[in-house]
Amino acid sequence: MSWIQKLYETYEHASVDLATEDAPPPIAHVSQQAHIQIILDGAGNFHGAEIVAKETTLVPATEDSAGRGGKIPPPHPLCDKIQYVAKDYPAYGGEKSFFEAYRSLLSDWNQAYPHEKLRAILSYIDKGQVVADLVKKAKILHVDEDDKLLASWPDSRNKPQIFTLVKNQGEAFVRWIVDTSALESRTWKDGTLMDSWIQFVPRLLQKRGLCLITGDTALLGTKHPKGIRFSGDNAKLISANDTDGYTYRGRFIDSEQACSVGYEASQKAHSALRWLIRRQSFRNDDQVIVAWEVSGKNVPSPVQNSYYAFWNDDEEEAPDNNSPQARSGSDFGQLYARKLSAKIAGYRRELRDSKDIVVIGLDSATTGRMAITYYRELTGSEFLERLETWHRNYAWFQNYSKEIKFTGAPSPKEIAEAAFGRRLDTKISKATVDRLLPCVVDGMPVPQDLVRSTCRRAANRVGMEHWEWEKVLGIACSLFNGVNKGGYGMALDTERTSRDYLYGRLLAVAERLEYIALSVAGENRDTTAARLMQRFAERPCSTWLQIERSLVPYKTRLQTRRIGFLHNMKKLLDEIHALFKTEDYVSDAPLSGEFLLGYHCQRSILQAKSNNEEETSSTGINKEEN
């Protein structure tokens, strides 16, 4: 129960000032999608009504109504559907009316804690004119020739607005505006009304017992909240309504013996969780991951890439892929590491010795039950140290699109897409994120099957669009570099003699040489190196001989058009060949992901151009002379 204890403490630390937008919602309230707002005066007279489009409303709720269902759903005490608030709903053809239960609850509340807005609403609904006013005066609801509410609109072209929001007009959700002497006329924003309901709701509870969260004897919650991830979410974290099955039978007599949580503690914990999810969560379909500090201090997200985790709000401080260091081929990784350390140091100053960093993952296999798929409590120093290690070791140049280019580590979801494709199944995506979360937070190595799968897809560039391949290539380099604990620099290492790295460099040079030859002739097609990249990764020696033979006509073309560039490329090829050991060069064994690092680094150097678009070599050879 540690997770609910931390959420309870989070609620206690957070601001619950109802005037503040960024605050946890008050207990005993739920969020609902309102469709109609009715305006009354202080005496309960109808002054108008209007459609509310796509706006969430915070409404009071009982423990039963917050998770209502079944044939006779219990009412909310203030704002609810037409079939609850309208006494005349049956007169207009409504088949299911719950007015009496709604009116009784509202009346009990007002008797216990009188309020001028409650009196006005009670006075109005007792007149039995809610549907009549909405049909005849406001013209929001629509009836047929027999004065019965239409079940549907016959003409799809001229459909009234209410039918675009709900299928059945009786399901339209009503909220109230009451013009009284109070400064705030909106009932869902009136703090005095909220406080009144919070004081009243314990009267509806019956069971008392030991609350395992606070350690005190308190009124117990028997139906814990739903709507955790979004307003229509039916999955619950705590549920014990299976009295006929084997949930606890054989071990306990009733559910309270297994776990007893106070109503207030449960409400506060679930309210804090809803607030955190709305405010700072990562979402992947039904999967939700949240990281927070209990006292409310800012923490970076463990499931975002480096750019969005650290520099999204501070673009000027982000490492610049177009900086002189990056473009000249010097070790841009050193600049990135310094900026990352400075950013982490800022978080360390804020978090200091905090012992209350929490990371929680939620998912649901069914509509009614939610599971905690991941849970960790860490100190601030542990959390930041592991996060820094991840973003340092798995950092590489990332090229997602023309607008999104950054240096850093990819996010778990981006790794899943790189490993299995953008159209991967939702279950695989969620499972992969679950597997990668411990790699970020606990410092576990990335599973080798994900590294191999991503590297294979990066080599199979023919099956992807160019922008997608660029993204996969950067992520593949990140993963291979990361599993080797960041042992490869982001800059080209001209002294490295490993077979796979050198073959990657050769492929990049061959690709650049053919690309420039095609550009000179005005041709736009894939190079031989690009088409044979997957085969090259599987059989490098034999494939390289084929690529090298294909370069002969392109060298001839460049001999008369770009002789300086050709000279540089030939010299570079000779330098790379000289670094090979004979037994490595003639081996046709498959290449590891290291060849992608050599390819990417060499390609980056060859693509770097001066302001005059003059090609330079990776070793500082003189500029080409046309």
What is residue 618's predicted lDDT score, i.e. its pLDDT? 35
Q: What is the DSSP string of 528-593?
A: HHHHTHHHHHHSHHHHHHHHHHHTHHHHHHHHHH-HHHHHHHHHHHHHHHHHS-HHHHS--PPP-T
Q: pLDDT of 559-595, one tens digit each?
A: 988 999 999 999 999 999 999 999 999 999 999 999 9
Question: What H or E segment, with its residue span, contains residue 36?
Answer: strand 29-41
Place of tokens 């209007």: 50
Q: Where are the domains of the chain?
A: 17-204, 295-355+377-483, 499-607
Percent of the chain with pLDDT over 90: 68
3-state secondary structure of 92: helix
Residue 234 CB partners (closer than 8 Å, separation 6+): 67, 226, 227, 367, 368
Quick one: pLDDT band at residue 615, thresholds 50, 70, 90? very low
Q: Which residue has the higher pLDDT, 252 or 233?
A: 233
Entry pTM: 0.87
Residue 392 dihedral angles phi and psi, to the nearest 5° = -85, -50
What is residue 463's predicted lDDT score, i.e. its pLDDT? 80
Residue 249 to residues 1, 23, 221, 246, 419, Cα–Cα distance (Å): 21, 40, 20, 5, 45
Residue 488 to residues 96, 328, 566, Cα–Cα distance (Å): 69, 18, 29
Q: pLDDT of 113-155, one tens digit each?
A: 999 999 999 999 999 999 999 999 999 999 998 999 998 888 7
pLDDT at 3 over 90: yes
pLDDT at 596 over 80: yes
pLDDT at 15 over 80: no
Count of CB atoms situated within 10 Å of the CB of 126: 12
For helices 594-607 and 448-459, the axis angle rounded to 10 degrees is: 40
